[in-house]
Chain A
């Protein structure tokens, strides 16, 4: 809106001839043909209210995200990466768990392809998030979808999936997700930078990284509300415990798959009865 107003002002001044008399001032606008309606009502610079709401909802998770980034930064430098390569990795890969695993494997002398394969397996959960959240982004441009793909994170997904699902008819609701994942991104990069610069001189006694687990608890409890989700939660807990020893976080995928299967089994008789 403001951009079009300024164009109008600009044109108005060029077309304005004559002395500047108070009463004449309105004429210079009237002499112009009406401008076409602005194609977008917002300039891209202003932040959407939903963006701000999403970012605000993510603030409580930031201490955990910053500490998790910090740990990753320390690990990358500790494994022998130069500060530049470490920060490039943080910007490009932007996946804490797979970065940490890669550093462990690299220090252990694992071959390159195995490390990349491990990263793929650890990131498999993002495919599930991607599938789960993609219906809400279908109408967006390819560029914006690429940006959202890059920014997708556990915390951002957890904070916004409930909001997106309960306002599926609102075309601007993706801004809530954008605000949330942008806040996570900023917190993560700050944490990583601190970790790279400070190295291992940070007190680990505070256990701030544990707040990530607490955030997940706070976010998952509202989702446990019917038989199917209770069955999924119990199965996820038990299978998760049983498979925790498996390498490359494979246990996470196995237990998530088992939990979804259990939830579907519990849900099935009811929906068949209706059909």
Chain B
């Protein structure tokens, strides 16, 4: 790709990036969501983050791998347990990373 196209790409992506983030903070800031929409919005964090996390834990190279050999799955389950019991982000991270590397070491 030549220099001009690269900069056109950067400019285009900047526009999409800012417009999607600023859609309701900056551009349509006076838009008050109706009550049902507000209830829906409360579910946004759960909906998005679970959608991000579950495929990452269960899919290995696009294939469903539901076994103890799946290090990410084991680490994720440990992290869920610790997060549930302690509500502590740092402990959750430490437990998850410890299990990830433990399972990988055991499998290798």
Q: Are B29 and A138 in contact (CB under 8 A)?
A: yes
Note all chain B residues with C-beta closer than 8 A to A104: none
**With A214-B92, A232-B46, A241-B55 in contact, do A145 and B97 touch (Cβ < 8 Å)?**
no
Query: Is B68 an interface residue, CB under 8 A from the partner?
Result: no
Would you call A8 an interface residue if the criterion is a C-beta within 8 Å of the partner chain's C-beta atoms? Answer: no
Residues of B within 8 A of A15 (CB): none
Does A29 sit within 8 A of B, measured CB to CB? no
Query: CB-CB < 8 A to B50: which residues of A?
Result: 220, 232-233, 236-237, 240, 259
Size of the A side of the interface (Cβ < 8 Å), in residues, is 88
Q: Is the CB of A149 within 8 A of B21?
A: yes
Cα A257 to Cα B54 with chains together (Å): 16
Decide: A116 near B49, CB < 8 A? Known: A145-B25, A241-B59: no
Q: A117: nearest residue on chain B (CB-CB)?
A: B16
- Contact between chains at A130 and B23 (CB < 8 Å): yes
Q: Which residues of B contact A217 (CB under 8 A)?
A: 53, 76, 79-80, 83, 92, 96
Bitwise interface map of A from 213 to 253 toward B, beta carbon under 8 Å scored 1, else 0: 11111111111100011001101110111001100000110
B19 CB to closest chain A CB (Å) equals 8
Question: Which chain B residues have a beta carbon within 8 Å of chain A's beta carbons?
Answer: 1, 3, 5-14, 16-18, 20-26, 29-33, 36, 39-59, 62, 64, 72, 75-76, 79-80, 83-84, 87-90, 92-93, 96-97, 100-101
Q: A214-B96, A217-B83 given; name 4 further pairs at CB < 8 Å.
A: A145-B29, A217-B80, A220-B45, A220-B46
A-B CB proximity, top 6 nearest: A149-B22, A259-B47, A236-B50, A218-B92, A116-B12, A244-B55
